[in-house]
Amino acid sequence: MKSTYLTELTKLADSMKIAAKCGLGQSVGNAFKSIVGNFREEIIY
């Protein structure tokens, strides 16, 4: 469940990166994506 949720949120971060109006919105998801990318296990378990 949590894992699907993370995947979905990553997709949202991807959308924000390409669809947000300004640079702030486009970059704000980067930190989150990086954490999930590198520490996925730690977040889930």
Q: What is the DSSP string of 1-45?
A: -HHHHHHHHHHHHHHHHHH-SSHHHHHTTHHHHHHHHHHHHHHH-
- Find the binding residues for another protein in span 1-45 (CB under 8 A): 5, 8-9, 11-12, 14-21, 26
Closest distance to another protein from the beta carbon of 43 (Å): 16
Q: Toward another protein, which CB reaches closer, 21 or 41?
A: 21
Chain residues in the site for another protein (CB under 8 A): 5, 8-9, 11-12, 14-21, 26
